[in-house]
Amino acid sequence: MERAKCVMKKKQYILSFFVILFHLVGFLGFFFGYKELFTSLIPFHLLLMLLLLVWSYESFNSRFAVLIYCLGFGIEYLGVHTGLIFGSYQYGDALGYKLASIPLLIGVNWVLLIFAAGSAIQYIPMKSIVLKSLLAAALLVLLDVFIEPVAIHFDYWHWASATIPLQNYVAWFIFSFGCFWLFFNQKQKEKNPVAVVLLLAQFLFFIALNYWLKPY
């Protein structure tokens, strides 16, 4: 048992290193002007992060991941085609192939975000699932504040209005809260440091792009 834990810990260290490495390479690629090349690699990056996330768990809850994927894709479908949830927006080409104008990988992105932020909050000694869900949702909204300008700059998506609507952040919070409530009600309570590293890497990546590339 101790040997297995030791092996798992070493694997998680290695996977954490690759999470950091690929985010660093991505930032440097954009920073040094290889915008077209690294924008084309965004779908592969998302899939790679999903693969690393799955490998980092002793027992990955694939059913829950599929549920979050479906919920994420569904809310984006309703959001784009009604304009009533996040506001009026359309997806660009950076996230790859689309189904009904929605990138197939947007559900993967929601899986990464929910597992990453949820795992980070699990390290806080807090029993209330509602409070944990509120805190995790607030964390994701904060991340989205840094994502939005970069996403617009690199053709992830585009808003119909000149400014990002407040409605978007409110909807992110409400939808994320629901996903986190499901996340923290799972029977599986495995803590995952790799998922936390992924969340930190996302924050640093988008903060750095906001500062250096000045997408506004």
pLDDT tens digits, 92-101? 999 999 999 9
pLDDT of residue 63: 93
Q: Note the pLDDT of residue 1.
A: 62
Per-residue pLDDT, averaged over 188-209, amounts to 92
pLDDT of residue 54: 94
By the 10 Å C-beta count (0-12 exposed, 13-18 middle, 19+ buried), 19 is classed as buried
Average pLDDT over residues 58-69: 93
DSSP code at position 90: E
Sequence ranges of the domains in the chain:
2-213
Query: Residue 215: pLDDT band by 50, 70, 90 thresholds?
Result: very low
Average pLDDT, the chain: 92
Model pLDDT for residues 116-174, shown as the tens digit of each residue: 999 999 999 888 999 999 999 999 999 999 999 999 989 999 999 889 999 999 999 99
CB-based contacts of 137: which residues, under 8 Å, 6+ apart? 172, 173, 174, 176, 177, 180
CA 195 to chain centre: 10
Q: For residue 61, give both structure tokens.
A: 């809850």
d(CA 176, CA 143): 12
Q: Is the pLDDT of residue 216 over 50?
A: no
Closest CA to 146 of 96, 202, 200: 202
- Contact criterion met (CB below 8 Å) for 24 and 16: no
Q: Which burial class, exposed, middle or buried, applies to 77 when counting CB atoms under 10 A from its CB (0-12, 13-18, 19+)?
A: middle
Query: Residues 6 or more apart from 113 whose CB is under 8 A from it?
Result: 140, 143, 176, 202
Cβ proximity of 22 and 49 under 8 Å: yes
Strand partners, 102: 99
Q: Hey, what are 43's tokens? A: 């779908």
Give the burial class of 3: count Cβ atoms within 10 A of its Cβ; 0-12 exposed, 13-18 middle, 19 or more buried: exposed
Provide the pairing of β-strand 157-159 with 102-103.
Answer: unpaired
